[in-house]
Copies of this chain bind each other. A is one copy, B any other.
Amino acid sequence: MADPPPAALAGAALDQLFREARTQYDWDCRPLPEGTIEALYDLLKLGPTSANCSPARFLFCASAEARARLAACVAEGNRAKVLAAPVTVIIGMDMAFPEHLPFLFPHADAKSWFEGNAALIRDTAFRNASLQGGYLILAARALGLDCGPMSGFDKAAVDAAFWAGTSVETNFLCSLGYGTGKNVFPRAPRLPFDEACQIL
């Protein structure tokens, strides 16, 4: 007989992760406490990816220079947010991730699965780097940070300004810090269970 399953997390934890967490649009100037970014990576890196391929790469824009460089590449409505948040992370996806598979997945020759298959590489990088972006958002909330994920930016400009000469492309952006709550929308509706789900 297996052990009983661990209980669900307490309601306050579910609130912090999901039910009361809201995308922030305005940021307090407090910096992140020393070591927060490393603690964030130490959690999110443990989330599962296909064959442990871990294709996401993370550029944490924290200096005034890096934030200004990024702000120049985002949609006008996102510019002030990137300048105000203490950190905005660029979540990238490394199209050369198969090179790391002999280290990341020692159980099998997973690198060979991808050889000569650019479409599989791209799909795997995009799916798994996005999953890792989801782990980042929830790990940040678990550490007591607010998040402001953004898709409104010029991908070619961010790629050129931050990933030039690498095999990495931008997936999306996420501000991290302490939101003021200003300009937060009332919670928008979600699809009811029966429109999004079926139990077969």
- What is A's interface to B at a CB cutoff of 8 Å? 2, 5-10, 13-14, 16-19, 21, 23, 28, 37-38, 41-48, 50, 52, 54, 56-63, 65-66, 100, 103-107, 124, 126-128, 130-135, 137-139, 142-147, 149, 151, 171-172, 178, 180-181, 185, 188-191, 193, 196-200
Contacts and interface: CB of A to CB of B under 8 A. Distances in A.
Contacts of A137: 47-48, 131
B47 A18 contact: yes
Contact of A190 (B37, B104, B124, B196): B104
Interface of A: prevailing SS: mixed
B197 A37 contact: yes
Contacts of A65: 200
Contacts of A48: 23, 137, 147, 149
Given A144-B7, A191-B100, A130 B139 contact: no
Contacts of A21: 46
A199 B62 contact: yes
Contacts of A63: 200
B171 A127 contact: yes
